[in-house]
Every structure is written in C-alpha cells, then in structure tokens.
C-alpha cells in the first residue's frame, strides 16, 4: 500500500500534488489545510486521514487535533505540531506531523518520525515537499521524499529504504524472486531486500504482493505472473 503524506497546504493544492496522490492508495494530511474547499477536494481523491492545524479556522472544528489509526497493519499517530505530542501509544510505528514546513525523517527504536514538509504556499525559501510511504504486512517498507519542483517519483527513497537499480534481466528474475521469497520467510522488509540484493524497490514490492495474494505460489509462478502483467501493460 502506497500512501501520500502531505501537510501545510495553506489553501493551495498544487497540480503536482494531485497527480502524485493519484498514484497512491490513501492520503494523510498533517494539518493546516486552511480552506474548506481544499478539504473537499482531498476527500474526493482517496481515503483521507486528516487533523486540524493551528491555521485551520472554525470550519475545521469537526477535525481532530490528533488521530490514531492503522493502515496495512501499521499503527500510525497523526498530529499537526510535534511539540503538542503528549503520548503516541506504545505500538505506534509511524508518527506524522507538520507545522514547520521542513521535511524531516527520523528513525528511533523501530519508529519513524516523519514531517513531509509543505506542498502548498511557500514559506520563505523552503522547498516544496511531500512524502510517499509504502506499507506492507505491518511494516514500513519505504519512505520517499518528493521534491515538487523537480518531481520525479522514485528518485529520493531514504537510505533505510534501499536504492533503485535497473530491473534484473529476465534470465536473472527467477533467481532474484527466489531470494526475495527467502527474505520474506526471514521477515526481511522490502527496503532491506532492495538494498541487500541491489534490486529496484518496486520490483521487490511486486514480488511480495503476488506472493501475499497468491499463497503457495512458486518463484517460477511469480515470474510467469509478472510476465503476463507486463504483456497486459499492468
């Protein structure tokens, strides 16, 4: 599951943001939407998880100040200002916040603290950013920073999420798929396998998804399924 993470739109929903949201399964907004029309536009895009920011007026009184929820088995805590956090809950794996307009990603004790920055109105000379988070089987598989002024999806995956290399040749796919299946059996994440075997993260994710949705499938069966998908243009 790929999730678009945004914050501090401040009344401006850029087309680049809309396009990137279109490639995701859900949207998380860390507050300061600013205007109800942006809220309505976001509601019509994808499943939306949203909290109230300090610049959200009376119209936003219905929105919570903080929110705990779960996506793809990953417990998430959402709030606008990190300084307002009193407790997140012991099992939370992903904490999302905004307010500063500065992108940041920190990992501590198996938990990711993520500020996607601002993708709305520019503040001073800060870059316009958002994030895309890939969740799979109760784990954070990848966190990607997206710079909207040079938005090329997949170019800024964090080191913890592994690098992106060229797709393995067809002759090596079965071997790569076998490695991924063994990694899954060991509990390794998509990010770990991508980095370990120098495989593109989207290739590893596709293999994992096919195995999860087709229990008992072999490496050869996965390769065949991927080839069929390519022929269909999927």
Q: Which residue has the higher pLDDT, 194 or 18?
A: 18
The pLDDT of residue 161: 45
The pLDDT of residue 190: 85
The distance from CA 39 to its chain's CA centroid, rounded to whole angstroms, is 20
DSSP class of residue 18 equals H
The pLDDT of residue 163: 38
Q: Which residue has the higher pLDDT, 174 or 7?
A: 7
119, 9 in Cβ contact below 8 A?
Answer: yes
Non-local CB neighbours of 43 within 8 Å, separated by 6+ positions: none
Write the DSSP string, 194-224.
HHHHT--HHHHHHHHHHHHHSTT--HHHHHH
Q: Which residue has the higher pLDDT, 137 or 158?
A: 137
Dihedral sign from CA coordinates of 182, 187, 190, 192: negative
The pLDDT of residue 151: 53
Question: Which tens digits make up the pLDDT trace of 48-104?
Answer: 999 999 989 888 988 999 999 999 999 999 999 999 998 888 899 999 999 999 999
d(CA 32, CA 52): 7
């Amino acid at each position: 599951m790929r999730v678009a993470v945004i914050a501090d739109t401040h009344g401006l929903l850029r087309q680049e943001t809309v396009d990137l949201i279109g490639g995701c399964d859900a949207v998380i907004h860390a507050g300061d939407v600013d205007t109800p029309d942006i809220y309505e536009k976001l509601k019509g895009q994808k499943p939306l998880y949203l909290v109230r920011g300090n610049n959200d007026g009376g119209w936003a009184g219905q929105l919570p100040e903080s929110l705990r929820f779960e996506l793809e088995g990953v417990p998430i805590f959402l709030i606008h200002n990190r300084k307002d956090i009193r407790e997140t809950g012991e099992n939370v794996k992903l904490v999302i916040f905004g307010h500063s307009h500065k992108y940041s990603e920190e990992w501590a004790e198996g938990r990711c603290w993520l500020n996607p920055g601002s993708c709305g109105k520019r503040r001073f000379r800060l870059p316009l950013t958002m994030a895309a988070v890939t969740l799979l089987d109760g784990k954070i598989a990848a966190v990607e920073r997206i710079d909207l002024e040079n938005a090329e999806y997949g170019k800024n995956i964090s080191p913890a999420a592994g690098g992106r290399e060229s797709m393995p040749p067809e002759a090596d796919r079965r071997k790569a798929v076998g490695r991924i299946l063994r990694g899954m059996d060991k509990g390794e994440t998509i990010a770990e396998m991508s980095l370990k075997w120098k495989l593109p993260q989207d290739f590893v994710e596709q293999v994992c998804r096919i195995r999860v949705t087709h229990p008992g499938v072999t490496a050869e069966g996965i390769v065949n399924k991927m080839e069929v998908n390519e022929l269909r243009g999927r």
